[in-house]
Amino acid sequence: MPDSLPATGRPPRAAGVPPGAPAATGTSPAARLLAAAGRFAPVLPVVALMALLALPVSGDTARSGGAAPADAMSGVLVLLAVAGAVRRAERPLSRTALVVLGLPVVGFAVAATGAADAATGLTGLGRYLQVFVLVPAAVLLLVRDRADLRVLAWAFVGLALVQGGIGAHQYATGTGASYMGADIRAVGTFGPTDVMGMATVVSYGVICAVGLALGAAPGTGTGTGTPAGSTTGTGTAVRQRAVALVCALLLLVPLALSFSRGAWIATAVACAAQLLLAGVRRAVAVGAVLAAVLVVLVGGVGVGTAMLQERVDSITKVTDAPDQSVLDRYTMWAAAVGMWRERPVTGVGLKNFPAHRDGHASLALSSGSDTAGAGSGFVRQPLLSPHNMYLLVLSEQGLLGLLALAGGWGALLVLGVRRLALVRRAAVRAPGGPSARGADCGLLACGLLVWQLVDFAYADIGGPSTVLTAVALGVVAWWALGADAR
């Protein structure tokens, strides 16, 4: 399997220059940096988009759901991808990619016609197209090979370390979002109105770091042009594994301090899936190491505070003794199902859940959720979505929209796992060969999708961090659709 991207009809890098090969333009740090920038120029706009998510988000933008700088950059990303496709004068996507990414547009368009007014319908349609079609397709087109994909993976890890570091500082200094009367909830730069923002970013970082660590096997090369079995290739793989593993362990701390039960569950499931996909023996060994580290963090270092322990215990009590946030979620889930039963095929229309909520919700629903801290005053946030992506799509877009969207996700998962299996079989037949490289890319891509599918049972799109979900889906799309797996 070549490192280039034949399915998109785009040529690989310059002939005779393997991806990731040492630059011939000089040996100074500045020369190497310039050479690396030139090699990875197509994906640098994606990295820039991710870097913008490290900037603080204004309270007005977070509360109103307005466009943030990263959203504007996502538009630039799409334009760059389109311009590149036009310049090459070739079909940019394979038929499979067109079907998987394009089919949900039908459900979006039909649901947009049922919106309260044209402006609302267009706004909702634009958001869904941005997150699930345009940005993923742009990432698919801009990523040329696995070296590019690894750059994005490390960008995920870097952003997670920045946001996680800010979140850990918020917890330590009592400057985070309010949680049970104390300003200790780690939210990074996203503020108290998007408490899932930092948790999502850090979770993505953990998944990417685990994938990079598990897939970088010494002696097999790293897919960057280094001969398998060489001293350089082995050393690079060992360094990648060590650095990635350290990053993953560090990111567990801010993930815990986010107090996000949904992110915890999704990360645990995704990491378990990555371990199993990497091999049972490796799964047992790495699982034992992680368990030992968690024991040290919780018992020795003191990460496990009383509030954190109570939050963990609450996961097992969501049916027996649910708190008000869980009751609100159950009530909104029931309301979403009621809307779907009222209009089962096409739903109530894009962005119409708030308008129909009170007509289907019971009296157990509270008036809103309280947010404060992290530099913001007290705000009572209205409950405008069911906090479940599947039920949000079902209620607003009906079965038509849910089957088209979830069907695409299922196709990505099947194709992604299939390609990873082909890479692992190739590694057994010809260790270190071109077709045997890229297990790390497959593991992180499959892990990101599994995390997203699980998290969507507890959350939906919304907030400044949503554009990062689109980038993650683009990474998944490249692995599943962007290269020939034969």
H/E stretch holding 476: helix 466-481
Residue 42: exposed, middle, or buried by beta-carbon count in 10 A (0-12, 13-18, 19+)?
A: middle
To the nearest whole number, what is the mean pLDDT of the chain? 82
Which of these, 406, 411, 410, lies nearest to 391 by C-alpha position?
406
Give the chain's end-to-end CA distance (angstroms, integer): 7
- What Cα–Cα distance (Å) separates residue 151 from each residue in 145, 212, 242, 439? 10, 11, 17, 15
- Decide: 209 and 245 in contact? Cβ < 8 Å: yes
Residue 346: exposed, middle, or buried by beta-carbon count in 10 A (0-12, 13-18, 19+)?
A: middle
Q: What is the reported pLDDT for 330?
A: 87
d(CA 407, CA 404): 5
Q: What is the reported pLDDT for 229?
A: 46
DSSP codes of every residue in 78-92: HHHHHHHHHHHTS--
Which of these, 113, 453, 194, 385, lies nearest to 393 by C-alpha position?
385
- Decide: 107 and 397 in contact? Cβ < 8 Å: yes
Phi, psi of 348 (to 5 degrees): -90, 0
Task: Write down the pTM of the prediction.
Answer: 0.86
pLDDT category at 333 given cuts 50, 70, 90 is very high
- Decide: 350 and 120 in contact? Cβ < 8 Å: yes
Q: Is the pLDDT of residue 249 over 50?
A: yes
> Which range among 91-95, 297-301, 321-325 has the greatest average pLDDT?
91-95
Q: What is the reported pLDDT for 130?
A: 96
Q: Is the pLDDT of residue 12 over 70?
A: no
Pair of tokens at residue 335: 């309301």
- What Cα–Cα distance (Å) separates residue 460 from each residue in 142, 171, 451, 453? 26, 25, 13, 11
Q: What is the reported pLDDT for 358?
A: 83
Pair of tokens at residue 461: 């799109």
For residue 54, what are the contacts with CB-CB under 8 A and spacing of at least 6?
159, 162, 163, 189
Question: What's the whole-number mean pLDDT along residues 83-112?
Answer: 89
**How many C-beta atoms lie closer than 10 Å to residue 227's C-beta?**
11
pLDDT-above-70 percentage for the chain: 76
Alpha helices in 103-180 (DSSP H): 104-113, 118-129, 135-142, 146-173
Q: Is the pLDDT of residue 193 over 90?
A: no
DSSP 57: P
Q: What is the reported pLDDT for 17?
A: 43
Q: What is the reported pLDDT for 223?
A: 42
Half-sphere exposure of 455 (CA within 13 A, CB side): 24
Q: What is the reported pLDDT for 299?
A: 59
Lowest mean pLDDT: which of 155-164, 278-287, 356-365?
278-287
DSSP codes of every residue in 354-390: HHHHHHH--TT--S-EEEEETTEEEEEE---S-S-HH
d(CA 418, CA 145): 18
Which of these, 242, 235, 224, 263, lies nearest to 17 by C-alpha position?
224
Q: Is the pLDDT of residue 215 over 90?
A: no
- What Cα–Cα distance (Å) separates residue 279 from each residue in 3, 210, 274, 348? 23, 14, 9, 45
Give the tens place of pLDDT for each residue, 115-147. 888 899 999 999 999 999 999 999 999 998 888
Which of these, 326, 428, 467, 307, lies nearest to 387 by C-alpha position?
326
Give the tens place of pLDDT for each residue, 252-307. 999 999 988 889 999 999 999 999 998 877 777 777 777 776 666 655 545 556 66
- What Cα–Cα distance (Å) separates residue 322 from each residue in 124, 314, 326, 327, 397? 32, 8, 6, 6, 29
**How many C-beta atoms lie closer than 10 Å to residue 392's C-beta?**
25
Pair of tokens at residue 219: 């002696």
Question: What's the whole-number mean pLDDT along residues 96-120?
Answer: 92
* The amino acid at 157: V
Question: What's the whole-number mean pLDDT along residues 339-344?
Answer: 94
d(CA 403, CA 405): 6
